[in-house]
A and B are shown apart, each in its own frame.
Chain A
Amino acid sequence: MSVESVDPDEVDAADILGSAIERREDPALLTGDAEYTDDIQLPQMAHMAIKRSQHAHAAIDDIDTAAAEEMDEVVAVFTAEDIDVPGNLPVGWLLDTLEQVDHPILAQDRVRYQGDAIAVVVAEERYAAHDAVDAINVDYERLEAVTSPRAALNGAADLHDDAPGNTAFEWEIGDETKTDQAFADASHTASVDLENQLLIPNAMEPRGAVADYNPSTEELEVAMTTQNPHLHRLLMSGVIDHPEHKLQIRAPDVGGGFGSKIHHYADEALAAWAAKQLERPVKWIATRSETYLTDAQGRGHETHGEIAMDDEGDIVGLKIETDANLGAYLSTFAPAVPTYLYGTLLSGQYDIPAIHCEVTGAFTNVPPVDAYRGAGRPEASYVVERLIDLAAREVEMDPAEFRRQNFVPDDAFPYETQVAVVYDSGDYEKTLDRALEMLEYEDFRERQAEARENGRYLGLGFSAYIEACGLAPSELAGQLGAQAGLWESSLVRFHPSGTVTAFCGTSGHGQGHDTTYAQIVANELGIDYDDVDVVEGDTDEIPHGMGTYGSRSAAVGGSSLVTSARKVVEKAKSIAAHQLEADEDDIEFEAGEFRVAGAPDRSMHIQEIAQQAYLAHDMPGEMEPGLEATSFYDPDNFVFPFGMHAAVVEVDPDTGELEFERYVAVDDVGNQINPKIVEGQIHGGVAQGIGQARYEGAEYDDNGQLLTGSMQDYAVPKAEHIPEMETDSTVTPSPHNPLGVKGVGEAGTIAAPQAVVNAVVDALEPFGVDHIDMPLKDEKIWRAVHENGGEE
């Protein structure tokens, strides 16, 4: 079932959309021709390093920079006292009850997490900057630290005067009265208390910025690791008080983000500000240790969940209470992640008549927590799918059949959930059936029973996930609190010779947009794939755009490109009609050729029309010369990809060791622009999801010190840790966008954790184990077996 990639030259132009062509960006990435932020070298460039708090929570009594300032090669040392601009990082999503706390780019008298920035050194050379940082002496008065959201909300010392009790917000969704009634009337209930642990993002390329200021023109150019250059430009212009039109943000090649490069951090703003102060280029590149301390982390939920069923085994209600860790300050989109990106997905793939969810956001002494691949949706899918398994056990039904019985039926779409969203399209039984077929499910259950008799413990875990991608439309996002629109811009420009540059406001950082966008545009314009180039990630070149996150690029950016391309075709059609002396209504467009209906020999190719449009010797009526079009595409709704993943494991109860037997993934992401890229996204996502299920987790001691501060103690899975994935897909197009696409960037990450946990819990059912918190390290599995006596 593995997808074979093909050479684009071997694909017919008519088939380019949907072909598994090789990624055109890969040669540069693989040979080192790619330009990452740290590859940029400018004349007179200085290097910045940041003095960070060694304590998770402390008052600062004194900062002594004298020794650092005297060191050779040091250009300048700055502390909060030197900051002459607002210097306060804004939050981009508001909630009614949200306490907005100050988030200064340099801490003045208090630090709230280990890694909070205290001072910066700019030096002629990178190592000199780091050495000088070591010479800065900070006098701390250590304060009590708290890292668990539940503990923070229950009597821990306050982090912020403006947020008493460390409560950042209280939020709810669904109908509490109706849900309570459903539980009161229910025949069966099941519940779980679980933690969805904090994760460290681990993009391959650490964050960084190179800022270059021209004092004559007041133009400030910042090349940086960003998933959304325009958003960073808007935010940074306020933070460092620099006019937006004189600030250029450029994303060179960016080595992954997983959400961590959406947010506006202090570091990039400090580099830009320092470049202005010093009137020379300044580079800042995070060390790997710094990314561990400061990249916004993901997840961090402590949740109690309950599910209720009637005596037929139908789900009648779902109740969720979550304490969400927001870290020390509000990161850019932090308030949205555990609320609208979480609570709205709690219906899963199921027809649940009553749902209620309460979320309390908590400030704690860990780095700010924000979107990380999946962002809210993995947390929702995890608690729902854990509860579904417990519910099936409670009503003594097979977990596959329990799911099937409760699925939203395929004729119920569009389906409005009890948590404020409308699913666009779906066919959940189809992915379930395909997965069961691949798993040889009935045989497996027989094998499992036999194995148990022989003292071997096999388990199978399902994950029927749903995800919401391409959060939209903007009006809705605004009503929910977004301080940004969630449309996407694009510009499709024919050059006189007939080649095309397609600009898009998204900003790929490994996803393969150069390839997939070119496929989309070539298909719409009917021109050769090689004649289309794609440009993203530069605020000086591209209309204002929203960036790449939340699996939105294909659904929103891709659709925007379709819209622009179609506008170009419309204009070209008018020119064709004029030059072919035919009525516009009689012009047919196919495979790049405009033909007069009924007179097939009278035709013009769109690339020929491009030349005519720039010659402008013979244009219709008042039409302007040129051939390009811009769109700001705002979708009607989210898109809702879905699928069924399943893990098959064997657990050794004597040692807690776990072995994967199989991992099966059947995804439905709507139409596929490039099946090889879809497969790659699923593979990477599943690997990350298994990472969370088995190995990863940011752990802190009682003082808020990060104990998993490097890859030595934080296990990002290696190839040997990941089972072979058997992937397949079904296709249920989204009716909400012209491509019928849904989004695939986060599917695997959302699906995999509960597939693994459900499999392990299934394997250990004879030992009375009904839940184990992630990560499922061998020791934890062993303890779960032995806490229950270790006896069947």
Chain B
Amino acid sequence: MEFDGTFTIEDVSTEEVWLALSDPVLIKQCLPGCQFMTRVEDPDAVDFEALRESEPDDDPATLPEADLEDISDRAFEEGAHYAALLQLSVGSVKPSFRTVVTIDERDFPVMNASGEGSASDSSFEMASGMTLVETDEGVDIEWHAEADVFGTIAQMGQRVISPVANRVVNRFFSNVEDRLTEVADDNDGGGLRDRIQDLL
């Protein structure tokens, strides 16, 4: 199955969007149903139970409050692997996908990632990517994803899956947009935008 789209965020810079989308903590918070997102060394030997238990109760600060150096330190790295537990609501079922994502490419303003997720009776394999394009109004996030879906979820058919995928993607970017609006608001009083520019 292939999905793609463009999500426009007004009154932001590509650098701000880039920094937001580079932060695993912000991604976790913005991605509906994502219970944690943690960097792992060996993608084939992830103990999801242990990760869930060791997940701190409170997330570190994200934009706009976060220290930019902290975000920079924990930002996605090309070649690194991240484990996530994603609970999705698909029709009448709510599978929890144990997911491992690898950042295949991270070169401003392009990021590509691939991953696999498995639940008890369903699984998926996905390759996705995005390119940030600066426009007069703000930033266009041009995204695409190609997914293979297996098991019960696949049996429900594209008619069920496509709306779910669109809902998840749109809610994710809307959440990101909300965060960046806070950044923009914050800029009215301080120099966050300049600092981000400097950081990159």
Chain A residues with CB under 8 A of B160:
712
Q: Does B158 contact A (CB under 8 A)?
A: yes
B123 at interface by CB-CB < 8 Å:
yes
Q: Which residues of B contact A133 (CB under 8 A)?
A: 121
B39 to chain A, nearest CB (A): 23
**Which chain B residues lie closer than 8 Å to A654 at the CB level?**
none
> Which label, helix, strand, loop or mixed, suits the secondary structure of the B interface?
mixed
Q: Given A712-B159, A713-B159, is A705 in contact with B120 using a C-beta cutoff of 8 Å?
A: no
Report A112-131 CB contacts with B as 1/0, cut-off 8 Å. Answer: 00100000000000000000
A708 contacts chain B at the CB level, 8 A cutoff: yes
Residues of A within 8 A of B158 (CB): 707
The chain A residue with its CB closest to the CB of B120 is A134
| Residue pair A135, B120 in contact (C-beta under 8 Å) | yes
Residues of chain A within 8 A of B149, CB atoms compared: 705
Inter-chain contacts of B157 with A (CB < 8 A): 707-710, 712-713
Report the Cα distance A709→B157, complex, angstroms. 7
CB distance from A359 to the nearest CB of B (A): 31
- List, in ascending order, chain A residues with CB within 8 A of B154's CB: 54, 114, 701, 705-707, 709
Q: Which of A52, A54, A135, A709 contacts B123 (CB 8 A)?
A: A54
Q: Is B152 positioned at the interface, with any CB of A under 8 Å from its CB?
A: yes
Report yes or no: A54 in contact with B121, Cβ–Cβ below 8 A: yes
> For the complex, is A136 an interface residue (Cβ under 8 Å from B)?
yes
Question: B156 at interface (Cβ–Cβ under 8 A)?
Answer: yes
Q: What is the bound-complex CA distance between A289 and B122, given in angstroms?
A: 14
Contact A55–B150 (Cβ < 8 Å): yes
B79 within 8 Å of A (CB atoms): no
A333 within 8 A of B: no
Tell me whether A292 and B155 are in contact (CB under 8 A). yes
Q: How far is the CA of A89 from the CA of B159 in the complex (A)?
A: 36
Q: Distance (Å) between the CB of B156 and the closest chain A CB?
A: 7
- Closest Cβ of chain B: how far from A272's Cβ, in Å? 25
Residue of B whose beta carbon sits closest to that of A708: B157
Closest partner residue, chain A, to B157 (CB atom): A713
Instruction: Please indicate the chain A residues that have their CB under 8 angstroms from the CB of B120 in the complex.
Output: 134-137
- Asked if residues A705 and B150 are in contact (CB atoms below 8 Å), the reply is yes
Contacts of A705 in B (CB 8 A): 148-151, 154-155
Which chain B residue lies CB-closest to A136? B120
CB distance from B45 to the nearest CB of A (A): 12
Judge if A703 is at the interface, Cβ distance under 8 Å: yes
Selected from B123, B150, B155, the residue in CB contact (under 8 A) with A710 is: B155
In the docked arrangement, what's the CA distance between A289 and B123, Å? 17
Q: With A134-B120, A134-B121, A137-B120 in contact, is A54–B156 under 8 Å at CB? A: no
- Binary flags per residue of B136-156, CB closer than 8 Å to A gives 1, else 0: 000000000000111110111
* A293, CB-defined interface residue at 8 Å: yes
8 A Cβ contacts from B140-190 to A: 148-152, 154-160
Q: Which of A703, A706, A710, A713 contacts B148 (CB 8 A)?
A: A703
Interface string of A382-417 (1 = CB under 8 A from B): 000000000000000000000000000000000000
> Residue on B with the closest CB to A700?
B154
Cβ of B115 to closest chain A Cβ, rounded Å: 15
On whether the beta carbons of A289 and B152 are closer than 8 Å, the reply is yes
With a cutoff of 8 Å between Cβ atoms, the chain B residues found around residue A292 in the complex are 155
Give Cα A456 to B157, complex, Å.
36
Q: Quick one: closest A residue to B160, CB to CB?
A: A712
Which B residues touch A289, using CB under 8 A? 152, 155
Q: Which residue of A lies closest to B154 (CB)?
A: A705
Q: Point out the residues of chain B lying under 8 angstroms from A703, CB to CB.
A: 148, 150
CA distance A701 to B147 in the complex (A): 12
Q: What is the bound-complex CA distance between A114 and B156, given in angstroms?
A: 14
Q: What CA separation (Å) do A140 and B121 show in the bound complex? A: 12
Q: Are A54 and B151 interface neighbours, CB within 8 A?
A: yes
Contact of A709 among B121, B148, B155 (CB under 8 A): B155
How far is it, in angstroms, between the C-alpha of A303 and the C-alpha of B160 when the chains are bound? 34
State how many angstroms separate the Cβ of B147 from the closest Cβ of chain A.
11
Which residues of B lie under 8 Å from residue A136 when comparing CB positions?
Answer: 120
0/1 string, A139-150, CB within 8 A of B gives 1: 010100000000
Q: Shortest distance in angstroms between B4's beta carbon and chain A's nearest beta carbon?
A: 18
* A54 and B159 in contact, given A705-B154, A707-B154 (Cβ under 8 angstroms): no
How distant is the Cα of A739 from the Cα of B88 in the complex, in angstroms? 62
Closest to B158 in A: A707
Question: A712 CA to B155 CA in the complex, in Å?
Answer: 10
| Beyond A54-B151, A709-B156, A713-B159, 14 additional pairs, beta carbon < 8 A | A54-B123, A55-B123, A114-B150, A114-B151, A114-B154, A134-B121, A136-B120, A289-B152, A289-B155, A703-B150, A705-B151, A705-B154, A706-B155, A709-B157
What 6 A-B pairs have minimum CB-CB distances, sorted nearest first?
A54-B151, A709-B155, A705-B154, A713-B157, A134-B120, A54-B150
21 contacts between A and B (CB under 8 A): A54-B151, A54-B154, A55-B123, A55-B151, A114-B151, A114-B155, A134-B121, A136-B120, A142-B150, A289-B152, A289-B155, A292-B155, A293-B155, A703-B148, A705-B150, A705-B154, A707-B157, A707-B158, A712-B156, A712-B160, A713-B159
